[in-house]
Structure 1
């Protein structure tokens, strides 16, 4: 059987979403229904949705992927709620404060040992674009907001490490010294750092605190991790440091992303070359601040109609 994953990745990166969704449905048609939500697999490796439309049904949205994935696809929850009979979301409890600000739906704490019982239609949150057949640009951004922390004007938020699951997304912190010398900076990571930042002891492991810091920064520079999704969901300018062959959602040949219009992509030109990435960012920083981008983006951005405020 052909592995359709490369074709799907190419379609997603090229914004050929109808093609990507057709590939997904072809894959689904070849699956054995008995393997759906297979308890022998880790939650993030399971397939949950059976391909039926969520329209008019009681839907349980399961958030079995990472925090960043949930934030990325939570943009679809209000639309889903308008089309389904009812929507309940099962997600890690630490995400509930964000999800409440995005959609007015019941929330369940995800306990891997005791998952919620099935509903009329179960779907993993990452499957919502295909189920609803709605591309990312059709969903307004920002879809999340937070009161900004009080920070020195022009502060850059920095995040240079992803989780331990992918050490290729770790940037040696000393490479960021040119950025910290150019502007006041703060760390968006837990734990201490030797970098000359405003918070050398690091950022509290709390999503509301992190969101407040991001809201107060005119620019966030980060690797591909939850911080990137949180900044993008809030419409904050975010410069994304990517490895040469990044995750499917980022096109390494592009400068922008359909998922987050406020993002600018900086992919490695050679595998492992973070120096080149940081050099390009340092080169572009003066233009960002000189041309007023930062002045127009200090603190909380303009709110779209109906936006809710966290905190």
Structure 2
């Protein structure tokens, strides 16, 4: 209260006493009583600034921001040097979203009191809300310099630096905060975020765990630690944390979204749909939430009406965010899963516009090939994703126009196989080279997985390749065949894929679960055809009496596969290798299959000699493996390759 105000109130001891009571009620949190007394005083002294100031603050604290801001603006107009009123006015404008006005209020404080750390902090927050990142960081740095013991300011600075992309400086800010306050949970959370971005997963998890220890019921700490554990493959532990976060923050849409993601990874598709529905209900106009719901519904597409609903949800998401690469790419995958190739393949190009994190534009200055004439021109076709994808989509190289020159750039592990084994009969002559080598001059380029769209593939018939498009080295194949045990059915097995694959937990099978029942069958010899081994695999192979084989790359693996009677594999590169070679394959698919295998059915247009064996329940491989064992047992008299290829071995519908 200013000297003038004090004198005016002192004219009436009664009003001065009432104002004292109003202040007492305000400090005790009895805002209704305080407001009533202020209004009673103002009826007698309508321009009393001290009372107007207090009432303006009360109005703001009770949600009547517009009225409160107007009252505080009047106070600061009458008393330009009233720093407390300016601070309250700045806060009111900030809460109203009037950031430019709040900046002016805080700047007025700093003109009067340049060393006010709190005003610098609030100025930074308002500038940050205006998108003035550089100005915000400068204000936070000044606040930190003026209040060197304050850890919270350094956390705020770290968050601003992180948002600006300066991870190193953010790391320093969070570390400074922790040095000042070793029990500052937000500092450890921010530290964990930066460490996670830098790929320092173990350190990030330790920082998140410390934040959670300090704040056991903090949903952000639960969520971030859960996401880190998820990325590390510890899905069950992550799921427990996400469930707890959802209980603590039932109205936080992002918490339910993260829970849904963990449930999907754990193979609990129906529960994931429920979590995504909750996220959508809380944020109905969030395209990302809708897109995740659409994905989960599509994965349950074998259930009645799920696929139709999934497509409708993806349509809603795309309408809300027509330029969002993730949303549009997920819509493309849903179309492809449903067999809508006419829309799916053109839309698959969204993978380059944010749909797939790992993909980065190669920066080629020449145009992308869209199917036009190639006469007299050189086309570079470049592999882009996994090894299995390259093996699968190599079929389209043989369909390129024969009047141009085609250079195919592939991953180095596939170079020898593709260079020597790619069938070239009637189409363009394809020169194969390894990624990382200097490229020749070229006029056009095409990502390998864009060829279906460029070639105008519109249905399953456009995917089919009636004859094998890869061949194995005949001498190596002959050498592998000579090592076979006579009179037995020799079967290659592959039980797991890349453990870093998002859905690996769902698609891979424990070696013992797959090989155990098959190794016990008379007249059957099992041969491992995957090169990667996980902990305990060698011991298990030995225990089952299965001879382990050292394979020298894909060329050697192709020769081995070419000499086998059958390959039984999960959804990994081996399935595509064997399929491309035209070998009989029994492909074990999880309940929620990858988009390329469609929904339902035993056949696939990709490989005529491949049979699909699908889970009937998520995560339950036992019935599938029993069906495989029963079919092999019924034909343990070593069926011919023709029988295997034509599907004469009875497989369950």
Under a length normalisation based on structure 2, what TM-score does the superposition of the two structures give? 0.40
Post-superposition offset of 1:71:
0.8
Post-superposition offset of 1:270:
1.9
- In structure 2, the residue matched to 1:20 is 344
The answer to whether the 8 Å contact 1:188/1:203 transfers is no
Deviations 1:188-231 (A, max 9, x none): 1234352335423x442411211111111111010111100011
SS in 1 for 2:498: coil
- In structure 1, the residue matched to 2:402 is 82
Distance between the aligned counterparts of 2:406 and 2:565, measured in 1? 35
The answer to whether the 8 Å contact 1:184/1:197 transfers is no
The 1:123/1:164 distance shift into structure 2, 3 A limit, reads same
In structure 1, runs of 5+ residues without a counterpart are 299-311
Q: Superposed, which structure 2 residues align to 1:204-243 within 5 Å? A: 204-243=551-590
Post-superposition offset of 1:281:
1.5
Q: Superposed, which structure 2 residues align to 1:71-220 within 5 Å? A: 71-82=391-402, 85-100=404-419, 101-102=421-422, 103=424, 104-111=429-436, 116=439, 119-134=442-457, 135-137=462-464, 139-146=465-472, 147=474, 148=477, 149-150=480-481, 151-152=484-485, 153-166=488-501, 167-168=504-505, 169-176=507-514, 177-182=516-521, 183-190=524-531, 191=533, 192-195=538-541, 196-200=544-548, 202-220=549-567
- In structure 2, the residue matched to 1:305 is none
Worse overlay, 63-72 or 143-152: 143-152
Deviations 1:137-180 (A, max 9, x none): 2x333112223321223111010010122332321111120111
The structure with the largest alpha-carbon Rg is 2
The 1:188/1:121 distance shift into structure 2, 3 A limit, reads same
The answer to whether the 8 Å contact 2:489/2:639 transfers is no
Post-superposition offset of 1:268:
2.0
Distance between the aligned counterparts of 2:470 and 2:431, measured in 1? 18
Aligned length: 283
Under a length normalisation based on structure 1, what TM-score does the superposition of the two structures give? 0.79
The answer to whether 1:269 aligns with 2:616 is: yes
Distance between the aligned counterparts of 1:90 and 1:221, measured in 2? 29
SS in 2 for 1:61: strand
Q: Which has the higher strand share?
A: 1
Deviations 1:72-110 (A, max 9, x none): 111111221525x21111112221222222144222221
Match 1:63 to one of 383, 395, 399: 383
The answer to whether the 8 Å contact 1:73/1:125 transfers is yes
Post-superposition offset of 1:22:
4.7
The answer to whether 1:250 aligns with 2:597 is: yes
The answer to whether the 8 Å contact 1:241/1:266 transfers is yes
**Aligned-residue CA RMSD in angstroms?**
3.0
Q: Which has the higher contact order (CA 8 A, sep 6+)?
A: 1
The 1:295/1:141 distance shift into structure 2, 3 A limit, reads closer
The answer to whether the 8 Å contact 1:219/1:237 transfers is yes
Distance between the aligned counterparts of 1:261 and 1:221, measured in 2? 15
Distance between the aligned counterparts of 1:295 and 1:260, measured in 2? 15
Distance between the aligned counterparts of 1:90 and 1:211, measured in 2? 20
Post-superposition offset of 1:7:
4.4
Q: Which has the higher helix share?
A: 2
Distance between the aligned counterparts of 1:260 and 1:288, measured in 2? 23
